[in-house]
Amino acid sequence: MASEIRVRFAPSPTGYLHIGGARTALFNWLFTRHHGGKFVLRIEDTDRTRNIEEAMAAICDGLQWLGLNWDEGPHIGGDFGPYLQSERTELYESYLKKLQDGGHIFEDQGALRFRSPREHVIVDDLVCGKIDFDLSNEQTHPDMTIRRPDGSWIFHFVNVIDDMEMKISHVIRGEDHLSNTPKHIEIFRALGAMPPHYAHIPLILNKDGSKMSKRDEGASVEYYIKRGYLPAAVRNYLCLLGWSPKDNREKINIEEIIRLFDLNNVGRSQATFDPDKLHWLNGEYARELSDSEFYALALTKLKSSGVKIDNYPEQYIQSALQTCKGKINTFDKLLAYCGFYFTDDFDYNPEGVAKHFTAENKPRLEAVRDAFSALQRFDAETTLKTTAANLGVKVGAIVHPTRLAVSGSNIGPSLYHLLEVLGKEKVLARIDRALSKFF
């Protein structure tokens, strides 16, 4: 059976890769990887008014970012190409002639329509179960157009022809296509071909129950790429939208998901997209990155954020970023968390200024500066604890104004570690800057 499994992901390049489309591609990919079959990428670009090359590139880039490599398709080729519908016109013409010769086509105001046999069509769906579609009423199920008056093809026709010609064994797609399936089966039958097995997976909803649309924030894969999410985390989360390993686990590596993936474990109920859960899951993956993986990703993000990395020694950058590892869930938060390492001209958190730059804290901050100034070997932790004891206060009383003075923030990496990274000269200069600015 494994050699017979062929599935396809067939997006239209009319926008960027939608998160729902990515989940559909993922389920197809998992199914064929589980069975050892072939995953085909086919671009349905018959709508000449809407397709854009940039969108096709975004689809390919998004799939590659998620690690969903295709076995046949654009940039790779294969035995059943071409894989862009715009390049398959001659094939569609030949099948149109077959339908015309069989009396299945009629013309209506310049458009070509498929004459429905007006019957019940049973769809035995691998997810939704057996469904009886009654297509006998012409008023509720009119004969479908397969070619527009301008000569362009309609999705229903070319979709069927391509599935047939590419020997697709299973069509796994969103539940919103379920109502199209009996129409497609009618075309298969008219051509004397066996339709593939169908599996319609549940739609993805927003937390408020509305259908996720392209206009929603977080609806495109590009959004997660730009925010610095990890592809493994996004892929893992998308697996859980409609499928379950049946043991309540949420973090599962891709090799095990491939081993466990079964269409029998795809639920019927619609899946709810929870950005908070994805954010949490991404943090779990981020904490498992090796030092070298984290450093490479963080360095890339800093450069894309405009930080002039070349102005700093590599050891300084590595030490600074090491204090951030395991502290951020997504890399788009990195600059806000540690940007102070790479500029002396940072702003100060207003709430922190009001709370910690007080008259009471001025002599404490001066004492910290004097203690650091006297050091031959810079030991931040011991010096702060000793200074606090000499002042008769808890160490927290000087930690907070010191952190604010050297970083501009109330939160961030461990103060002792960040002071060591900055070094004596920078720390003294930043404390002096705060004292002159606010006291």
Please indicate whether residue 207 is annotated as part of the active site. Answer: no
Question: What pLDDT was estimated at residue 114?
Answer: 98
- Whether the link from the prior residue into 82 is cis, omega within 30° of 0, is yes
Q: Which portions of the chain are predicted below pLDDT 50? A: 1-2
The DSSP bridge partners found for residue 205 are: 211, 272
Query: How far is it, in rounded angstroms, from Cα 232 to Cα 391?
Result: 50
Query: How far is it, in rounded angstroms, from Cα 388 to Cα 367?
Result: 9
Residue with tokens 């899951």, as numbered in its chain: 281
Question: What pLDDT was estimated at residue 3?
Answer: 53
What are the CA-CA distances from residue 178 to residues 210, 272, 280 (Å)? 19, 20, 33
Contact between residue 111 and residue 145 where contact means Cβ atoms under 8 Å apart: yes
The pairing of strands 204-205 and 111-114 is: unpaired
The pairing of strands 120-125 and 111-114 is: unpaired
Residue 337 has which token pair? 């968390």
Write the pLDDT tens digit of every residue in 44-80. Answer: 988 766 667 888 899 999 999 999 999 999 999 999 9
Letter string b/e over residues 75-85, b meaning 16 or more CB atoms within 10 A of that residue's CB: eeebebbebbb
Question: What pLDDT was estimated at residue 110?
Answer: 96
Residue 24 backbone phi and psi in degrees, to 5? -60, -45
Residue with tokens 């973090």, as numbered in its chain: 251
The pairing of strands 271-272 and 204-205 is: parallel
Q: Catalytic pick from 214, 303, 308, 437?
A: 214
Contact between residue 79 and residue 144 where contact means Cβ atoms under 8 Å apart: no
Question: What pLDDT was estimated at residue 104?
Answer: 98
Question: What pLDDT was estimated at residue 1?
Answer: 41
Write the pLDDT tens digit of every residue in 219-261. Answer: 899 999 999 999 999 999 999 999 988 888 899 999 999 999 9
Question: What pLDDT was estimated at residue 308?
Answer: 92
Residue 197 backbone phi and psi in degrees, to 5? -75, 140
